[in-house]
Amino acid sequence: MSVLSVHDLTKTFDSGGRALTVLDGVTFEVAPGATLAIVGPSGSGKTTLLGLCAGLDQPTRGRVILAGQDLGPLGEDARAALRARHVGFVFQSFRLIPTLTAVENAAVPLELRGEAGARRAAADLLDRVGLGDRLDHYPSQLSGGEQQRVAIARAFIGRPDVLFADEPTGNLDDDTSHRVEDLLFDLNREAGTALVVVTHDAELAARCARVVRLRGGRMVTAEDPAPDAQAGRTAAPAAPIPS
Amino acid sequence: MSFVPSLAWRDSRKARRRLFLYVAAMALGVAALVAVRSFGANLQTALDEQARAVFGADHQVWNWGRFTESNEALVDSVAAAYGAEVAREVTASSMALFPESGGTRLVQLRALRGGFPFYGEIRTTPDSAAGVYQARGEALAGASRLRQYDAAGGDSIRIGTRTYRIAGRLDGITGQTDVEALVGPRVYLPLDDLDPQLLGFGARYTTGAYFRLPDAVEPDSVLAEIRPRLAAMDLRGTTVTGLEGDWSDALGDLTRFLELVGFVALLLGGLGVASAISVYVRQKAETVATLRCLGATAGQTLRIYTLQAAAMGLLGAAAGAALGVLVQQALPRVLGPFLPVEVETPFVWEPVLVGVGVGVTVALLFALLPLLRVRRIPPLRAIRADARAAGVDVWPWLLGGVLLVGIGLFARAQTGVEAAVWGFPLGVLVAFGVLAATAKAVQRLVRLLLPRRAPYPARQGLANLYRPGNQTLVLLLTLGLGTFLLTTLGLVERTLLAPIALPAEEGARPDLVLFDIQADQREDVRALVREQGLAVLDEAPIVPMRLTAINGRSTEAIRRDTTAPQPTWALTRQYRSTYRDRTVETEEVVAGTFVGGVAPGADVVPVSVEFDLANDLAVGLGDRLTWEVSGRTIESEVASLRRVDWARVQPNFFVVFPEGPLDGAPQSGILITRAGSPERSAALQRAAVEQFPNVSAVDVGLVLGLVEGILDRVAFVLQFMALFSVGTGLVVLAGAVRIARLQRIEEGVLLRTIGASRAQVRRILVAEYLFLGVLAALTGIGLAAAAGWTLALFVFQAPFVVAWDWILAALVVVPALTIGVGLAGSRGLLARPPLDVLRAEVG
């Protein structure tokens, strides 16, 4: 049983009257708690694939099954509701809401679900990521690394089944990148959340159990790059990826 | 608190200061609405409470000229039947001479007998004067008049052949507006001591009887009972409730019109709201996309920002309502000269609630136009900056339709004019359309014709008009509309004033009119004028007459026929016609031939009828009009139609007879001369009053001064209301500058980082705002000229006058204000180091 299943996913855009296929027949699955990196050069379709997997966009062809739900027939609001229950996000540029404090930002997913105790849970999680003393700071008062840790807290607070990370270390220096990566994988292990990471960073990709490599919209390889990653850094076994 | 309100609250924290201008834009419009509406409510209360005191009685019957025996019998029978107390009145315009100072002046005479006013009071100094002047045969004279000639209680006044001691000064007459008092100072006399010469042949005066009815008798039921007899005798009847209704209608029209002006300010504010929210939504796009990624629905995100807009709208409307309640205190002072009653200004809830309701609704509707875009921000945008929603959104169009319908309904409710329901929104659309089209055209033109060799700041400033994030459209709409409204007011005022203004260079223009000259006095008056060294510029005999039949059908029968098109006034009025052998320069024959003379004794007299009167009477060339002239019947035929320029200072007439048939009819005369100076005018008036007490004089310069005085006050009221529009325009301008500031920051910071001086950046800003201000002024002036011309042609039927001073003022003031507000809004930016700015605004 996989938490994310992608089958023959194709996306075509109209570009000045010509059809431009940015994603072409991509198929893979992700098991609960597994880690998967999507890599490839710029323009290879990584972000498009991530958007389709999270239900942010609709494919031209193919199916996405997220947390047991086929996204195809779902409308905008139903997909939003599904994301609220099962999906977490971490973005390259953090995407914190500038008008909310750190703790308020982290609490948003629980508040969206109408759950009680959102603030306490957010404060605990921020404490866990080392920001216990920065709860009431606004994003503009935090460094890039701190902002990304708030974003990670926000992503994990709802205990999602899948966490999508779009270049999570793309805007950070090396040291901070490593700390953020460690945090991602630690929380992934603790929460049993599947991690789908889009990245240029070979080192980050190497820490994932599986890697999907894209070129020109096609999946060129699906490999199992790092025995040590499987052994040491991911708790759950990666799902088999059909070739 | 659930998610939507709690996030709306938290998210607004940092934006509140930014949305302050949105609040302010709403506030002024709501303030105008609340102020005028509160004032209207209080005015109605005052009318309800004071109507009786203003009217002074319960019921009045009156007529032009003297009462006939049957009129007197009717008055007696009403008094007897209802146990009513009666007071009698004659009103007339007459010359007064103040012997102590030698001054003369046309005054509004009110000669009274009996206990009038039965309600209310005549306020005098000393207090006792009002109670004793009748018994002592003395006069009360209007305060302004006394001040002008330094007359005081104890001095005397001569009216006709009689001289009265002034018992006291009239301080205020309940029910008389200051504007009425401008027309002519009032003088009260005992009726029994009035000079009968003043009521001689051809004199214009009214005779009336006031009744005080017992409490149990309803004035309206008395009027209903005697109405048939009044109609048969051509008497007019008025009751206190009827008068109150008339005032109520007239003042209701006034307040409704002013509210409409306030509503225009509110619409301008709405525009400010729409532009502020539009930019706000643009700034919030990333947050919305993130929220959507995290699982918020489109509806939830829309509700978050709608809630913020509604809360801000409420805040703005509440602030506006508070301001409106304060402004209301000033309105009686502004409108006072036009009001027959004294208006208190206590707090009234209803207008405040209506103002807040209308304000919040307008704010929300205008805010929703850009807010609807929130629904269409795709979650994908969080990871892909260029993500856009596909397809066409019909909701903004539907909402735009709702807005227009709402505007139309409000305008109809305000004006009571059915056509306003489509006319007002159409006008708004046309004005907005022209302004928007100008903005687009200007952007295209500037892009095409940008002068490559112009100095760098000018080129940059011009290019800012079409660059992404430009404010051209918003600023042209708001500033252009404000300029348009104010300039239209100026142009219309000038168009109305122009025909009556006395051109200084035309030396031969008449400036003094002597009237009510009896036939046997004509030679002597003419001689008197010449003795004073003045020329008789024009003379005309005036023959009073009544119309008795049109084409053989009696005017009585026509009046009874409810399908007849002729208005009653045209059938029943006393016509003061003349006879002469030629047309004069203020008239033009537009149909038929003017006949200057017929032999005495002709069966049918060819007459010339004024064009609009002919339309009212539904007669044309060849139609027959039958006249009753001092008991004699004269049959006439319409031989020509004339258009008359009534605004010119000339004796003008509805009906002109040829010489011959009326030569022997009882008549009075009018004589026109030019005195050339106030001193010579006063000297002639004094001499005329002394020799011919029944002859009255009108100093044209004085009359023009009065008309100007009245129009100035009207203009002041309109300008006072227009200030709300201008204020809102400035707030919206400040808002637009604030918005543009965010978009100009990166450029400005970049320029300063690579070495541009503050002065250079400032010059770029000045250039941009200068261009915008000039463009807005030019477009607004163009629209105003079109509106002014249309109003002049179709509403006022007067030649359109271009008020260059208003146009020049708009051309200077609007750009200056734009630059001023623009620089004030950017001042902080220029003063800080580039890095600070970059961190604070962009980071």
Return the top range by mean pLDDT from B123-127, B386-390, B506-510: B123-127
So what's the pLDDT on residue B626? 93
B294·A112 Cβ contact <8 A: yes
So what's the pLDDT on residue A68? 92
A56·B383 Cβ contact <8 A: yes
Q: And the tokens for B500?
A: 């009556």
Which of these, B54, B367, B3, B268, lies nearest to B180 by C-alpha position? B54
The letter for the amino acid at A82 is L
The whole-number average pLDDT for the span B477-488 is: 78
Give the Å distances, CA to CA, from B204 to B65, B515, B544: 7, 10, 10
So what's the pLDDT on residue A32? 93
A99·B295 Cβ contact <8 A: no
pLDDT value at B838 more than 50: no
Band (pLDDT 50/70/90 cuts) for residue B627 is very high
Question: Cα B29–B32–B38 angle (5° rounding)?
Answer: 135
Cβ neighbourhood burial of B825 (10 Å; 0-12, 13-18, 19+): buried
Main-chain phi, psi angles of B546, to 5 degrees:
-120, 150
Main-chain phi, psi angles of A178, to 5 degrees:
-65, -40
So what's the pLDDT on residue B550? 92
B11·A97 Cβ contact <8 A: yes
So what's the pLDDT on residue A160? 92
A50 touches chain B (CB under 8 A): yes
Distance CA B126, CA B146 (A): 14
Chain B interface, best mutation among A13, A71, A76, by max B CB count within 10 A: A76
Distance CA A187, CA A210 (A): 18
So what's the pLDDT on residue B711? 65
A99·B15 Cβ contact <8 A: yes
- Average pLDDT over chain B reads 80
Q: Are B302 and B375 in contact (CB under 8 A)?
A: yes
Question: Cα B8–B10–B12 angle (5° rounding)?
Answer: 65
What proportion of chain A, given as a percentage, has pLDDT over 90? 39
So what's the pLDDT on residue B749? 66
So what's the pLDDT on residue B745? 64
So what's the pLDDT on residue B519? 82
pLDDT value at B706 more than 80: no
Q: What is the radius of gyration, based on Cα positions, of chain A?
A: 17
Give the Å distances, CA to CA, from B139 to A166, B15, B225: 97, 70, 37
Q: Who among A50, A91, A111 is closest to B3 (CB)?
A: A111
User: Shortest Cα distance from B291 to chain A (angstroms)?
Assistant: 8
Compare all CA atoms of chain A with the CA of B11 and give the residue at the minimum distance: A99
What proportion of chain B, given as a percentage, has pLDDT over 90? 6
pLDDT by residue (tens digit) across B351-373?
899 889 988 988 898 889 889 98
A166·B14 Cβ contact <8 A: no
The letter for the amino acid at B107 is V
pLDDT value at A116 more than 50: yes
User: Shortest Cα distance from B828 to chain A (angstroms)?
Assistant: 20
Chain B interface, best mutation among A22, A56, A58, A93, by max B CB count within 10 A: A56
Q: And the tokens for A144?
A: 């890039």
pLDDT by residue (tens digit) across B203-245?
778 898 998 888 888 888 888 888 888 877 778 888 888 877 7
B187-208 burial by CB neighbour count: b if 16+ within 10 A, else e? Answer: bbbbbebbbeebbeebbbbebb
Q: Are A207 and A34 in contact (CB under 8 A)?
A: no
pLDDT value at B839 more than 60: no
Instruction: Please count the residues of chain A.
Output: 243
Element containing residue B214 per DSSP (H, E)? none
So what's the pLDDT on residue B625? 93
User: Shortest Cα distance from B303 to chain A (angstroms)?
Assistant: 13
User: Shortest Cα distance from B10 to chain A (angstroms)?
Assistant: 6
Lowest-confidence segment of A159-163, B485-489, B620-624, B680-684 by average pLDDT: B485-489
B383·A108 Cβ contact <8 A: no
What interface predicted TM-score (ipTM) does this complex get?
0.78
Cβ neighbourhood burial of B503 (10 Å; 0-12, 13-18, 19+): exposed
Distance CA B438, CA B472 (A): 10
A99 touches chain B (CB under 8 A): yes
Bridge partners, residue B139, by sequence: B166
Q: How many beta carbons lie within 10 A of that of residue B502, not counting itself?
A: 14
Band (pLDDT 50/70/90 cuts) for residue B261 is confident
Per-residue 3-state assignment (H helix, E strand, C coil) for chain A: CCCEEEEEEEEEEEECCEEEEEEEEEEEEECCCCEEEEECCCCCCHHHHHHHHCCCCCCCEEEEEECCEECCCCCHHHHHHHHHHHEEEECCCCCCCCCCCHHHHHHHHHHHCCCCCHHHHHHHHHHHCCCCCCCCCCHHHCCHHHHHHHHHHHHHHCCCCEEEEECCCCCCCHHHHHHHHHHHHHHHHHHCCEEEEECCCHHHHHCCCEEEEEECCEEEEEECCCHHHHHHHCCCCCCCCCC
The whole-number average pLDDT for the span B770-781 is: 88
pLDDT value at B310 more than 70: yes
User: Shortest Cα distance from A241 to chain B (angstroms)?
Assistant: 25
Chain A interface, best mutation among B293, B301, B838, by max A CB count within 10 A: B293
User: Shortest Cα distance from B836 to chain A (angstroms)?
Assistant: 13
Q: Are B30 and B355 in contact (CB under 8 A)?
A: yes
**B291 contacts on A by Cβ (under 8 Å):** 97, 108, 112
Chain B interface, best mutation among A20, A47, A89, A103, by max B CB count within 10 A: A89
Distance CA B503, CA A150 (A): 80
**B308 contacts on A by Cβ (under 8 Å):** none
Render B588-627 in DSSP notation, one character per residue.
EEEEE----B--TT-SEEEEEEEHHHHHHHT--TT-EEEE
Q: What is the radius of gyration, based on Cα positions, of chain B?
A: 34
User: Shortest Cα distance from A199 to chain B (angstroms)?
Assistant: 13
Which residues are CB-contacts of B655 (< 8 A; sequence separation ≥ 6)?
Answer: B575, B577, B607, B608, B609, B610, B613, B625
A74 touches chain B (CB under 8 A): no
Q: Are B200 and B35 in contact (CB under 8 A)?
A: no
A51·B383 Cβ contact <8 A: yes
Q: Who among A82, A95, A138 is closest to B290 (CB)?
A: A95
pLDDT value at B258 more than 60: yes
Comparing B700 with B691, which gets the higher pLDDT?
Answer: B691
Cβ neighbourhood burial of B645 (10 Å; 0-12, 13-18, 19+): middle
Distance CA B537, CA B520 (A): 20
Which of these, B478, B447, B474, lies nearest to B780 by C-alpha position? B478
pLDDT value at A126 more than 60: yes
pLDDT value at A113 more than 50: yes
Residue reference for tokens 């009425």: B180
Instruction: Give contacts of A 152-181 with B, CB under 8 A.
Output: 154, 166
So what's the pLDDT on residue A165? 92
**A50 contacts on B by Cβ (under 8 Å):** 383
So what's the pLDDT on residue B760? 79
Distance CA B367, CA B495 (A): 39
**A14 contacts on B by Cβ (under 8 Å):** none
Distance CA A99, CA A112 (A): 17
Comparing B602 with A196, which gets the higher pLDDT?
Answer: A196
User: Shortest Cα distance from A97 to chain B (angstroms)?
Assistant: 6
Distance CA B368, CA A137 (A): 32
Band (pLDDT 50/70/90 cuts) for residue B177 is low
CA torsion B304-B309-B311-B314 (nearest 10°) is: -160
Q: Who among A83, A85, A100 is closest to B293 (CB)?
A: A83
User: Shortest Cα distance from B430 to chain A (angstroms)?
Assistant: 36
The whole-number average pLDDT for the span A125-153 is: 90
So what's the pLDDT on residue A73? 92
A91 touches chain B (CB under 8 A): yes
Cβ neighbourhood burial of B16 (10 Å; 0-12, 13-18, 19+): middle
Bridge partners, residue A35, by sequence: A195
Render B50-67 in DSSP notation, one character per residue.
HHHHHH-SSEEEEEES--
